[in-house]
Structures are given as structure tokens and as C-alpha cells.
Amino acid sequence: MKTQDLLAIGLMTFALFLGAGNLIFPPSMGLEAGTNLLPAMMGFLITAVGLPAFTLIVLGRIANTNNLTKSLPPWLGQTFWVLLFTSIGPAFGMPRAVTVAYEMGIKPFVDGDYLLVFTLIFCAVTLLLAFTPGKLVDYIGKFMTPALILMLIALSVAALISPLGAPQLPSADYQNSAVTHGLIQGYMTMDGIAAVGFGWVIIQAINAKGVTAPKDVARVSLYVAGIYAVLMGACYLAMGYVGATSSTVANGATNGGEILTLYVHGIFGEYGQVLLAAIIIMACLTTTVGLTNASAEYYRSSFKAPFALTSVIVVTLTCIVANFGLAQIIQVSLPAILLLCPIAIALVMASFVSSINSAFKPSHVSVLVVTLVFGALDALSILDLMPSVAHSQLQDMLPLYNAHASWLIPCLVVLSVNSLRSFINQQKTCTA
């Protein structure tokens, strides 16, 4: 693969992940962490960047994203993929991107409600770009992402040269356990599940450049994950610094979007709002295009559904949900996402173990079941649906329950025991 093509796929990968949430969340954390920004960001980067990068590397090692669920019963594997693409696609991820693009990119400049008009235009552009999957790397990797990076650099350099304030003392959560809290917040970005979905687009882009041999796909995926990690890490650090130095202008702000808006206005004045609007709309557009492409690629590969037809259905549903009932859809789909994220990560870990040595058979089914059970407890806790008595008992009994990751240790135990047992049985068979 040519270096410029490799770089283009890496830039495309960065843009696919870079949604409005990735820009809005770090300023809020930076404001709370204050003088403890660096240790908090260290923990945050491990889970918010390291986990998706690890997922991309594993997907490259197994060469075909569908291999992630190959060891599951066909009905169970298909159920997982359909739920995943429905959740991160038209049921949650894509409508949220459209509405955030409108709220932060258009609404500040207009009087009245133009959400329907904006949604129709935004979804039409998404569909136009998604209709030609072979050009996705050119559209996003070679043109849209460099423009997006230049805008982010302008904001970051301005914040470094003339910060609007100094970091304040950290809030209670970040005083004594900044790294741990950063780890938790990074995990809650849910980019781990996005990496599984985007894997379809990235592997397809690598194959489209003539790289199809498993070892070559694995090698290129490693480089792509590295490019993504460097760019996304730099973006998070810059946005976190913006939040940490925003105390003088963001007093009373309730979320990262407000902090970012106030900060940009404080540096660039009225032109800052235009710059921020362009960044947000561009980031949301690359995300919706990528999710449309990923969904259509899955249904084409698994069910022989026409790529164009699936794209139209996904984007049409997104347009409808973005205008009618997004809040209700989020309430319904959020529990599914909170369950699917640990399951996706568990399947990635199981696939990684089995890719190391064919003698390791970690039993994807048992790993999935154990993760589902304990992940359900974490989901109930996050949604504040866990009874108070049970919540107190689980805090004392389950490791990592307070970190919303009580599924991790049971999953690792089952993964290790099954892999070791299969390896021993394999050795006995070979020596018999």
C-alpha cells in the first residue's frame, strides 16, 4: 500500500470516530480535573483511545470483521450484529449526531425551528457520500479530515498561545483518584463498540487498496490504529486543556458544549461561533457517513442486501428519528448500548486470544453469557435502576462495580480458564 493511501485510511478512521461527543466531553472533564488534568487524561486516554485502537488491531488480525462472531451460533452472531448496527445507527448514534450538528452548528444563527429542513439536507449529503463507498477514503480521508484537523489546530494553537484562564483546584472526583476517574470516563465514551462497527468500513477500505492477505491486513490495521490513536489522543488533550483553562469564561456552564462555545467565543469573538459550527457539522457528517457505510456493508456482506437500498433505509430512519421522538428512542436504545459495549469488548478479547494460537479456544459463547449477566448489573447501575439495597451489597461484593465494569474480571476468568483447558487438551491429543 502506498504511504499516501495508508495515511488517508488513518485520517478517515480518525474522522469516523470524531463525533460531537468526542469534542464536547473532554472540556467538561478538563474543567472538573483542573490542576489534575494530566493524570485524569492519562487514565482517560487508556480507555477512550487505547481500547478502540486495540479493537481495530484485533479486527485486523482476524482479517474479516465477521470472524468476530464466527464461533457463536449463527443466530446469536447475527442478533449481535443487527442490534449493534441498529443501536449505533438509526436508533441512537446517527440521530444524535444530526441533532447535535443542528443544535450547535445551525440553531445559534437562526430564529425559529429549522430542524426538519436541516435534517433533510444533512441526511441527503450523508446519503450522497455513502452511495459511493469506494470513494469514502477520498472524500473523508483526503479532503474532509484535513480540513477538520486544520480547524482543530487553529482552536488548539489559539488556546495554547492565549488561554482564557488558569486551571483551578480539581473537583472532589479528581482530587485523590484522577487516574481512576479518568479511566471510568474514558470507558463510558463507548467508543469500544463504535470501533467494532467501524471495523467493517476500515477493513473494506484496506481491501479496496489491494491489501487482502491476512498478514498484510493485520500489518496495515496496526498502522491505521496508530494514526488514529495519535490524532485522537492529541484532540482529547487539546480539548481537555481548553476545559481546564476555561474557568473564567465558563462559570455556570452545565456541559462541555457550553464550555466549548463560550471558550471559542472568548478567543475568536463572533467568528469563533462560525469556526465551532463548521467543526461540529463536519465531525457529525463524517460520523453519519461512516455509520451508514458500516451498516450497509454489514447487510450486504451477511444478507446480500443491496448496498444502496440499505443506505437509503438507514438514512431515512435516521431522518425520521432525529425529528420525532429522539428522546424516547434514546431511553429505549441506551440500555441495549450499555449491554452491547461490554459484550463487544469481550468478543474482541476472545478473538485476540484465539488469534495468538489456534490451540486457544476461549469459548465465545460462555464469555458472552458471563459478560451479559454482569454487564446487565452495570447497565442497571448506570441507569439508576438498581434497588438501593442490592446496590450497596454489590458495591461491597463485586470488584469494579463502582467503575461500571464488574463484568471485566469474570470475563477474564472465564476467558483464561477455557483457553488454558483447551490448550492442555490440545497438548494431550498431540502427545497421545
pLDDT tens, position by position, 145-171: 888 888 888 888 888 888 888 899 998
Instruction: Write down the domain spans for the chain.
Output: 3-324, 326-432
Most confidently modeled of 65-69, 175-179, 235-239, 252-256?
235-239
Helices 51-61 + 326-356 axis angle, to 10: 50
Does the pLDDT of residue 329 top 70, yes or no?
Answer: no
112 DSSP assignment: S
In CATH, 3-324 is 3.40.50.300: no
Measured CA distances, 330 to 93, 94, 242 (Å): 9, 11, 29
Neighbours of 122 (CB within 10 A): 26
Does the pLDDT of residue 223 top 80, yes or no?
Answer: yes
Contacts of 302 (CB under 8 A, 6+ apart): 66, 78, 81
Share of the chain above pLDDT 90, in %: 45
Does the pLDDT of residue 89 top 80, yes or no?
Answer: yes
Burial class (CB in 10 A: 0-12, 13-18, 19+), 4: exposed
Q: Tell me the average pLDDT across 129-148.
A: 77
pLDDT tens, position by position, 228-272: 999 999 999 999 999 999 988 887 777 788 888 888 888 888 888
